[in-house]
Structure formats: structure tokens, C-alpha cells
A and B are shown apart, each in its own frame.
Chain A
Amino acid sequence: GESVGLHLPTLSVQEGDNSIINCAYSNSASDYFIWYKQESGKGPQFIIDIRSNMDKRQGQRVTVLLNKTVKHLSLQIAATQPGDSAVYFCAENDGGSNYKLTFGKGTLLTVNP
């Protein structure tokens, strides 16, 4: 099977709970950040993005928070469902170029029914 989940930070939550996935980024010049979801055997799928002139952005059941002072990004998933089980990656751009992304190593979210 897909081995992308090995050696990853993991988060296990109960169905219906809220989940918070954290990411530290490295490039202080980055001004665009994205969260991706990757299910086993599939390519990453866009969830939500945020630009550096914002500190919070909300989508459907998801919220991204950006703290530029400490270079930290978080993804909050409300009322987590079994279908949310996946690996979640944060990505940052190359400061001014939205097409050159650097990905974090990912977090494996497991939702228990």
C-alpha cells in the first residue's frame, strides 16, 4: 500500500471533534501558504490557502491561521469526519513566486468512529 504515512507526525481524533494540525515554515519571505489533503494512493488535493497579509481565513469546516511572527501555520477542521482521514501537508511559496512551492513533511490524521 501507500507508504507516504510512515515516519509522519500523527493526530488521532474522535469523529465529531475538532482537529488542529500545525506546521512551522522556514522562509520569512514566503507570502502564500496552502494546505493540501492527500488520501492514500491519490495526489494532493487543495484545501485552503492564505496570503501573508491575512492572519485567518475560513472555508467550509476548515480554518487556516497564520502567525508570521513565529512562522507558524495551523489548519483547524471542525466536526471531523472519517472522510477527513488523510495526510495533510502545508506548503509555502518561494517569496513572490506562487508556482514554486516547498512542502512540509505532512501530518497523518486518523479519525476514529
Chain B
Amino acid sequence: NAGVTQTPKFQVLKTGQSMTLQCAQDMNHEYMSWYRQDPGMGLRLIHYSVGAGITDQGEVPNGYNVSRSTTEDFPLRLLSAAPSQTSVYFCASSYGTAAGGYTFGSGTRLTVV
């Protein structure tokens, strides 16, 4: 049981490049979310999904796209990377209404130069 798997673990992008951060979970969780973590800011919600085919914006969605074609996968796309998107990105999944909150992946550290 792998839990929540994020790839890559580290990435350096040039300004204007695009890329996709991958997230997969094997727990059959309905709910999945993407957060970014910056120093002194805690975790901020980028996008979330309540099931396959359904996504919605969180607190800081600008510059990011998501899709949820399957229950297992929830990729995060950076359309045109900017230095302000330098951060640590966490994907998380949950049953939603059950106790235990979210299970988090180990994160992707992204640097945009």
C-alpha cells in the first residue's frame, strides 16, 4: 500500500516553462487536493477534487490547472512557470467525511529561475 505518491521530488524550471506534477493514490479516496507550502505561510489550497471529473478552485488557483480523469490520479499543471511559484507542493487524499483528515504525499520541491 503506497499511499499518496508524488513525482518528481525535485524540479528546477525556467520562467515560462510548463510542467505537470504527478499525484497518485491507491486508497480509493474520493477527495484529493493540492497545497503549496511557503515559509511562514503554512499550507495553502490550490485546487481540490471531490471525485473523478469534478474539480474546484482553492485559495491560490491562479497559474495552475488540474484534471481528475480517474479516482487514482490528480495531476497539477503549471501553465507558464513564474518565480512566485517556487514552493513545496503537496498532494493529499481523503475519504472526506471519515475521521483522519488527509493523507499527504512527501512533496515536490519546485524552483523556478
Write the residues of chain A forming the contact surface with B, with a CB cutoff of 8 angstroms.
Answer: 3-4, 6-8, 34, 36, 41-46, 49, 89, 91, 97-106
CB-defined contacts of A42 to chain B, threshold 8 Å: 106-107
**Docked-complex contact B43 and A7, CB < 8 angstroms:** no
Q: How far is the CA of A45 from the CA of B50 in the complex (A)?
A: 21
The reply on B53 being an interface residue by CB < 8 A is no
CB < 8 Å neighbour of A98 from B58, B97, B103: B97
CB-defined contacts of B88 to chain A, threshold 8 Å: 4
Q: How far is the CA of A106 from the CA of B35 in the complex (A)?
A: 15
For B41, the closest partner residue in chain A by CB is A105
User: B50: shortest Cβ distance to chain A, in Å?
Assistant: 6
User: A48: shortest Cβ distance to chain B, in Å?
Assistant: 10
CB < 8 Å neighbour of B102 from A4, A8, A101, A102: A101
Q: Among B40, B45, B90, which residue has the most Cβ atoms of chain A within 10 A?
A: B40
The reply on B34 being an interface residue by CB < 8 A is no
**Docked-complex contact A102 and B107, CB < 8 angstroms:** no
The reply on B2 being an interface residue by CB < 8 A is no
CB-defined contacts of B96 to chain A, threshold 8 Å: 97-99
The reply on B94 being an interface residue by CB < 8 A is yes
Top 3 closest pairs, chain A to chain B, by CB: A43-B104, A7-B40, A99-B31
CB < 8 Å neighbour of A46 from B30, B39, B102: B102
Interface string of B47-66 (1 = CB under 8 A from A): 01010000000110000000
CB-defined contacts of A43 to chain B, threshold 8 Å: 4, 90, 92, 104-107
CB < 8 Å neighbour of B40 from A8, A97, A99, A100: A8
CB-defined contacts of A105 to chain B, threshold 8 Å: 40-42
With A43-B107, A105-B41 already in contact, 15 other A-B pairs whose C-beta atoms are closer than 8 Å = A4-B88, A6-B40, A41-B107, A42-B106, A43-B104, A43-B105, A43-B106, A46-B103, A91-B101, A98-B97, A98-B98, A99-B96, A100-B45, A101-B101, A105-B40
**Docked-complex contact B45 and A101, CB < 8 angstroms:** yes
A98-B96, A99-B48, A99-B50 are contacts. A44–B90 as well, Cβ < 8 Å?
yes
